[in-house]
Amino acid sequence: ILNVEQSPQSLHVQEGDSTNFTCSFPSSNFYALHWYRWETAKSPEALFVMTLNGDEKKKGRISATLNTKEGYSYLYIKGSQPEDSATYLCASLYNNNDMRFGAGTRLTVKP
């Protein structure tokens, strides 16, 4: 299984901007895609778990989409706030129970 790739590596936006980042993953034997939010000095916190091609999930101002055929997921944040500043990790779970994480996108929202 090849690596999970996330882009960009880091992102700086102004408060109120909308933003999005990408997670690319090997689609062979794919089972589920997880998004996590990781704030400094805290443990990663789950945002979404998606399994079906075309899945779209939303939690407040944050939403995510999934394309299992081409192996990518987008995370969107609408109207970014300073409290959204964190590292956003995606992880893909495969049929052999192996879960692979990307390196994360570090988001900084300036007031």
Which residues make up the interface to another protein (CB under 8 A)?
A: 4, 6, 31-32, 34, 36, 42-46, 49, 51, 89, 93, 96-104
The residue among 15 and 46 lying less far from another protein, judged by its C-beta, is: 46
Q: How far is the CB of 78 from another protein (least distance, A)?
A: 22
The residue among 20 and 87 lying less far from another protein, judged by its C-beta, is: 87
Give first-to-last CA distance, the chain, whole Å.
40
CB 56 within 8 A of CB 66: yes
Instruction: Report the relative pairing of strands 19-24 and 30-38 from DSSP bridges.
Output: unpaired
Q: How far is the CB of 26 from another protein (least distance, A)?
A: 14
Q: Rounded distance, CA 92 to CA 109, Å? A: 26
